[in-house]
């Protein structure tokens, strides 16, 4: 299947490349198969809704499947740079893959818009910008809520992978500053069939709150496991990776009253009127749900939607300096991203600078509570 | 750690171990009869659980169409074979009917029953029927022609079948996971232990199935034929036992046990299209205990894997998988000291 998709896309790309040279070409490499396809498929659905032109220039989009394999992701990136001569690379939606791609993008001096919140060591990723919020930004609403409720201690139950580690390392300094101590750290993996051992230990430590770090429907199992061991639902906190309806669908009554940190897009209509992302988020939801059915909107589609917003702002700035398809245009695009300033998108307010390629401002995150099988914004 | 925590962990481990046990038995059965190391066993678990989830939504699961297509292909291949060997048309028709009749019935039943949202037990029976029929078809299409190949070739085919089935699972069920409703919501308290109805069902079904298998192998002609094939393929064939039939039967049994395991764990965890692999691998570790030959040793190994997993998730959750899979090394060492190298293949 993969081979045939690739062949079809390659043919389409070849035709498109022959048709017009000066168009803006975007190479997208995302996981459509493999363990992280749950992130890649909704991203692709969002990309399918992209306009056909940006700032008057025709848009060519080449989508390749990276199969959740870093080797394939790197190969795709090299192809984008050497064969397709793209102006911009988008992807991957999986963290380890996006990190692997960033070196190639920098080497090829092509801007990469990552669809996952990758933490890169200093000096790396000069050409890589993130569309999703950093875990550090998303941890803010949770810690704020803890401060408000007088939480003194918390426990951690997270994926034993990069996502879990990023949360653990990002929330600790924030919580420490607020005088909240981490007293129990437990880990699990998505395919695990039970978290009884971890839950027993966490409940025995009896922290004032427990943070569960997992994604999608995989976040429900540990949640149910903790509730089963008698931990109160109202003290459980989930991350933005779990802020989809799948958590409520699988978790049912056990997630009722629990808290989830989320980007603003998925709950756009429930945001207060003054929120900068409200209108954009509602526009995203309307477009996405018109195409894919009610309740289908999610944060991954929103990141794809936001790519268009930042391009609409940055491409005219870059066009003023150079023509698409040239190294000068790619450099101008990077400069435009770094200098365009505060940009409200459906997932928050971006402010990329030469030193900060995450760029989300602290007011971005929203804390949600599950009430009657739906989200409610915690003021 | 006190006694109550140890008890809870023990119970959790034994419950998971019971499911691993079923898979380990299926792996031993398939290996003994066909010499196939059946990596895709776990896929049947996911297929069973997720087919039921689809039926719960009133949808026809994609596995049904997979089964129907495989049955058609198998019938076609049989027909080509028969024509080449110049068999009469009546034999041809009889063969085709034999391959197609059960799938046709299940397809008709499922398409009719899916939108009606019958009770959970009826839907479970349908899900098990669909997945069970997949077993012999997978054998027919992937392994039958290679029945005399080396274990290594069969293993490589297994890897291929595993990837194919996982990929199809993603197409059929999507990337998100599902959790099935519990078969029995009753809760019991036994001192500090809280037993759910589902746990009781897992134990009851596992024990019943193990007893059933025992009786099948000891008391029925077909069961004895399977054992004979396992002991000596050529000898069995000389005695008039169809090794192809034995292969299909063992795959059917393996698929049945896989689907049943899927139904058992479906209500206790979230099952993804690719969840089966890891569960199947743990069944494999258990089967190694019995050297892929002994049923009681495999069952015992499964309980050990379950309990070890549960205790290591308490003591060192970050290293749980590492601990469980490292177990295979001392077991292999022990087995090779115990038996030397006499069980070398061919």
**ipTM of this predicted structure:** 0.78
Put simply, the answer to whether B279 touches A1 (Cβ < 8 Å) is no
Pairing of strands A153-159, A57-65: unpaired
Architecture per CATH, B3-339: Orthogonal Bundle (1.10)
Q: Is residue A3 less than 8 Å (CB to CB) from chain B?
A: no
Put simply, the answer to whether A197 touches B312 (Cβ < 8 Å) is yes
For A252-257, the CB contacts below 8 A with 24+ separation are A254/A220, A254/A223, A254/A224, A254/A227, A254/A228, A255/A220, A255/A223, A255/A370, A256/A370, A256/A371, A256/A372, A256/A373, A257/A233, A257/A369, A257/A370, A257/A371
Low-confidence spans in chain A with pLDDT less than 70: 1-22
Measured CA to CA in angstroms, residue A63 lies from A5, A12, A29 at distances of 9, 10, 6
Low-confidence spans in chain B with pLDDT less than 50: 344-346
Contacts with A41 from chain B: Cβ below 8 Å: 174-175
**Best to test chain B binding among A192, A214, A221 (most B CBs inside 10 Å):** A192
Three-state DSSP state, B186: coil
* Predicted pLDDT at A257: 92
Residue in chain A closest to B16 (alpha carbons) equals A193
Q: Is B319:B23 a contact under the CB 8 Å cutoff?
A: no
Residue in chain A closest to B271 (alpha carbons) equals A191
* Predicted pLDDT at A55: 87
How would DSSP label each residue in A253-285?
Answer: GGGTT-EEEE-SGGGGGGS-TT-TTHHHHHHHH
Q: Which domains does chain A have, with CATH numbers?
A: 2-133+290-350 (3.40.50.2300), 135-262 (3.40.50.2300)
* Predicted pLDDT at B306: 94
Pairing of strands A348-350, A343-345: antiparallel
Residue in chain B closest to A217 (alpha carbons) equals B177
User: Could you count the other beta carbons within 10 Å of the beta carbon of residue B339?
Assistant: 10
- pLDDT tens-digit series, residues B58-106: 999 999 999 999 999 999 999 998 889 888 888 888 888 888 999 999 9
Number of CB pairs < 8 Å for A and B?
Answer: 95
Residue in chain B closest to A223 (alpha carbons) equals B269
* Token pair recorded at residue A93: 């939606």
In angstroms, what separates the C-alpha of A163 from chain B's closest C-alpha? 14
Put simply, the answer to whether A190 touches B272 (Cβ < 8 Å) is yes
Q: Is B120:B181 a contact under the CB 8 Å cutoff?
A: yes
Q: Is B126:B54 a contact under the CB 8 Å cutoff?
A: no
Contacts with B272 from chain A: Cβ below 8 Å: 190-191, 217-218
* Predicted pLDDT at A193: 84
Domain-by-domain residue ranges, chain B?
3-339
Put simply, the answer to whether B175 touches A38 (Cβ < 8 Å) is yes
Put simply, the answer to whether B313 touches A197 (Cβ < 8 Å) is yes
* Predicted pLDDT at B342: 54
Residue in chain A closest to B272 (alpha carbons) equals A191
């Amino acid at each position: 299947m993969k081979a045939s998709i690739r062949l079809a896309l390659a043919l389409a790309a070849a035709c498109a490349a022959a048709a017009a040279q000066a168009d803006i070409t975007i190479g997208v490499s995302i996981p459509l198969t493999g363990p992280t396809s749950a992130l890649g498929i909704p991203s692709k659905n969002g990309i399918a809704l992209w306009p056909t032109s940006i700032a008057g220039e025709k848009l060519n989009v080449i989508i390749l499947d990276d199969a959740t394999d870093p080797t394939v992701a790197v190969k795709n990136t090299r192809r984008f740079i050497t064969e397709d001569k793209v102006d911009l690379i988008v992807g991957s939606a999986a963290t380890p893959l996006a990190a692997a791609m960033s070196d190639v993008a920098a080497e090829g001096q092509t801007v990469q818009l990552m669809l996952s919140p990758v933490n890169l060591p200093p000096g790396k990723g000069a050409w890589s910008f993130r569309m999703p919020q950093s875990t550090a930004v998303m941890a803010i609403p949770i810690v704020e809520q803890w401060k408000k409720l007088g939480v003194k201690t918390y426990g951690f139950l997270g994926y034993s992978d990069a996502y879990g580690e990023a949360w653990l390392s990002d929330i600790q300094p924030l919580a420490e500053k607020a005088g909240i101590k981490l007293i129990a750290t437990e880990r699990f993996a998505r395919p695990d069939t039970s978290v009884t051992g971890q839950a027993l230990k966490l409940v025995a430590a009896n922290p004032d709150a427990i943070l569960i770090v997992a994604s999608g429907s995989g976040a429900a199992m540990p949640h149910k496991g903790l509730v089963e061991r008698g931990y109160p639902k109202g003290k459980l906190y989930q991350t933005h990776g779990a802020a989809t309806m799948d958590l409520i669908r699988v978790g049912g009554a056990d997630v009722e009253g629990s808290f989830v940190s989320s980007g603003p897009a998925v709950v756009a209509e429930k945001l207060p009127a003054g929120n900068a992302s409200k209108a954009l988020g509602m526009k995203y939801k309307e477009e996405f749900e018109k195409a894919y059915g009610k309740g289908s909107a999610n944060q991954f589609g929103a990141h794809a939607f936001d790519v268009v917003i930042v391009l609409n702002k940055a491409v005219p700035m870059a066009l003023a300096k150079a023509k698409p398809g040239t190294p000068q245009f790619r450099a101008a695009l990077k400069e435009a991203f770094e200098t365009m300033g505060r940009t409200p998108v459906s997932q928050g307010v971006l402010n990329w600078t030469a030193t900060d390629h995450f760029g989300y401002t602290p007011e971005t995150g929203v804390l949600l509570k599950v009430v009657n099988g739906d989200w409610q914004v915690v003021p | 750690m006190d006694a109550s925590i140890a008890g809870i962990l023990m119970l959790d481990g034994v419950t998971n171990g019971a499911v691993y046990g079923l898979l380990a038995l299926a792996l031993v059965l398939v290996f003994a009869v066909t010499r196939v190391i059946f990596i895709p066993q776990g896929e049947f678990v996911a297929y069973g659980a997720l087919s039921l989830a689809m039926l719960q939504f009133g949808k026809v699961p994609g596995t049904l169409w997979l089964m129907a297509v495989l049955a058609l292909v198998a019938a076609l291949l049989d027909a080509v074979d028969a024509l080449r060997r110049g068999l009469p048309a009546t034999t041809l028709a009889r063969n085709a009917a034999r391959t197609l009749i059960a799938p046709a019935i299940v397809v008709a039943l499922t398409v009719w029953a899916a939108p009606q949202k019958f009770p959970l037990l009826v839907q479970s029976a349908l899900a098990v029927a669909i997945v069970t029929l997949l077993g012999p078809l997978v054998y027919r299409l992937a392994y039958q022609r290679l029945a005399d190949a080396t274990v290594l070739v069969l293993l490589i085919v297994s890897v291929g079948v595993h990837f194919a089935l996982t990929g199809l699972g993603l197409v059929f069920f999507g990337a998100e996971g599902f959790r099935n409703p519990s078969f029995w919501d009753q809760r019991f308290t036994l001192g500090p232990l809280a037993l759910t109805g589902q746990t009781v069902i897992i134990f009851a079904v596992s024990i019943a199935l193990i007893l059933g298998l025992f009786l099948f192998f000891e008391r029925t002609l077909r069961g004895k034929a399977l054992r004979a094939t396992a002991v000596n393929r050529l000898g069995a064939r000389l005695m008039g036992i169809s090794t192809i039939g034995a292969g299909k039967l063992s795959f059917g049994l393996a698929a049945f046990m896989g689907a049943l395991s899927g139904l058992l764990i479906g209500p206790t965890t979230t099952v993804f299209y690719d969840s089966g692999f890891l569960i199947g691998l743990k069944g494999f570790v258990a089967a190694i205990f019995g050297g892929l030959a002994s049923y009681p040793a495999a069952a015992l190994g499964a309980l050990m894997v379950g309990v070890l997993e549960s205790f290591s998730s308490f003591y060192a959750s970050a290293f749980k998988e590492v601990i469980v899979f490292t177990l295979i090394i001392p077991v292999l060492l022990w087995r090779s000291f115990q038996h030397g190298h006499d069980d070398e293949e061919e």
